[in-house]
Amino acid sequence: MTDGCISINGRRRLTGETTVQGCKNAALPCLTACLLCDRGCSCLGGCPALSDVENTIEILERLGAECVFDRAGELVTVRAENVFGSSVDSGMMNKMRSSILFMGALLSRTGEADIGYPGGCEIGARPIDMHLKAFRRLGVQIEEEGGMIRCRVRSRLKPGPVSLLCPSVGATENIMMLMAKSEGETVIRNAAREPEIVDLQNLLNAMGANISGAGSDVIVINGTDSLRGAEYKIMPDRIAALTYMAAAAACGGRILLRNVNLDHISVCCSVLRDMGAVVEKDGDGAVLTMSGRPNAVNAIKTLYYPGFPTDAQPAFMAAMTVAKGTTVFIESIFENRFRHAPELVKLGADIDVNICQAVVRGKESLSGAEVRSSDLRGGAAMVIGGLIADGNTRVRGVSHIERGYRNITEDFESLGADIRMIY
């Protein structure tokens, strides 16, 4: 992580091309799943050099796994045959939300797990009650004491039906890893449907698991005795792609993004077209062309996949600050996901926030200022705000952005932005 800031001289059309990184939200559970392999070596391609990826690798190594990270080639090799640990301390857990996935992986591998409570961005309540309730239903004994969650499988896991109160991505992934090596069939109902769930299923099956249904709301897990290492390529990062597309829609221009799956972002592409952008498939990527100011969209409501993703909401809000008309954002996933709005107001944006609703009245232009990101996706919104604004903008809190974007300044520079990291 860096203590510097991002300096942006705005009001430039974006023109150029860049390659979108591998998906952070797929890489983290896939790396964690490597713990399940009791033989062989796993090679995961497309793992971006992010702080969250680095932290996940550090946890794996502390548990006894051997890891090699070729950062330039974005390839992580994991050998987990000699895993000896079953505990993840609170300091490591606090660094990222996805650390909760070590609970399912460790229980599957060792029959026990002692972990702290997960951290991550402060964007609202993200309780792990669903994880704990499902695990208890599946035969795990759990005690919560002294800031730790102590989990044990005393005899064996108890496969069976599990119904989630809401389609939680983390709970779905945790159950998949817990039950991949169980004896019997587990059915997850109201499962999360995100593409990242499909990626995890595909990796686990490549390791020898028998899981089907990912991408739908019912996932069936038929447990197997053991898993082996596998080679796998992580999917493209759909949120990073949408960040660059939203920026180009706000600034105007023509950008080519390599390594994009448009099927994963179809709802957002529909919104971009409503804004006036032309979005076209180009081989393994996409081209976005935009002329003039974006059109406002009446309302954008975040929903579970395949709806509009909450992670894309900050970037699109930044774009709508210069739209022709008024857009209402309704945040239905996290109650504290508008923390970027006051920072955009510092740039001159006209935004009113009322709990989980934000009204954005588009203006012809914004003005550069110093702003600070307080979470990962809000930080991306600050960068887009700087790209839109007249004059110079400095974005602080860069460590949040580095959790999810490999080289956001270099990527935007490839797209024609006047942007750089300063220390």
Does an H or E element contain 256, and which?
strand 253-258
Amino acid at 307: G
- How many residues are listed for the chain in this entry? 423
In this prediction, residue 121 carries a pLDDT of 45
Phi, psi of 38 (to 5 degrees): -95, 5
- What is the chain's alpha carbon radius of gyration, rounded to the nearest angstrom? 21
HEC sequence for 173-237:
HHHHHHHCCCCCEEEEECCCCCHHHHHHHHHHHHCCCEEECECECEEEEECCCCEECCEEECCEC
Angle 106-108-111 from CA coordinates, rounded to 5°: 75
Average pLDDT, the chain: 94
Residues 6+ apart with CB under 8 A from 270: none
Residues 6+ apart with CB under 8 A from 26: 195, 196, 199, 200, 234, 235
Q: What is the average per-residue pLDDT within 43-66?
A: 95
Active-site annotation holder among 34, 43, 121, 151:
121
Domains of the chain: 5-21+236-422 (3.65.10.10), 24-233 (3.65.10.10)
**What percent of the chain is modeled with pLDDT above 90?**
88
In this prediction, residue 119 carries a pLDDT of 64
Burial 323-342 (b: 16+ CB within 10 A, else e): beeebbbebebbeebbbbbe
- Rounded (to 5) percent helix, strand, coil in the chain: 35, 30, 35
For residue range 120-137, list pLDDT tens digits in order. Answer: 444 444 468 999 999 999
Rounded distance, CA 419 to CA 423, Å? 13
Least confident of 87-91, 219-223, 351-355: 87-91
Pick from 61, 57, 52: which is nearest to 69 by CA? 57
Output 160 or 1, whichever has higher pLDDT.
160
In this prediction, residue 94 carries a pLDDT of 79
Whether 2 shows a pLDDT value over 70: the answer reads: no
Whether the Cβ atoms of residue 193 and residue 122 lie closer than 8 Å to each other: no
Decide if 121 is catalytic. yes
Whether 17 shows a pLDDT value over 60: the answer reads: yes
**What percent of the chain is modeled with pLDDT above 70?**
97
Does an H or E element contain 390, and which?
none
Q: What is the average per-residue pLDDT within 25-36?
A: 97
For residue range 292-347, list pLDDT tens digits in order. Answer: 999 999 999 999 999 999 999 999 999 999 999 999 999 999 777 899 999 999 99
Q: What torsion do the CA atoms of 102, 106, 107, 113 make, to the nearest 10 degrees? A: -80
Whether the Cβ atoms of residue 253 and residue 292 lie closer than 8 Å to each other: no
For residue range 99-122, list pLDDT tens digits in order. Answer: 899 999 999 999 999 998 886 444
Whether the Cβ atoms of residue 286 and residue 280 lie closer than 8 Å to each other: yes
Most confident of 27-31, 120-124, 374-378: 27-31
Least confident of 147-156, 252-261, 306-315: 147-156
> What sign for the dihedral angle of Cα 261, 397, 355, 126?
positive
Rounded distance, CA 141 to CA 154, Å? 7
Q: What is the average per-residue pLDDT within 256-280?
A: 98
Q: Which two tokens stand for residue 377?
A: 């996706």
For residue range 205-237, list pLDDT tens digits in order. Answer: 999 999 999 999 999 999 999 999 999 999 999
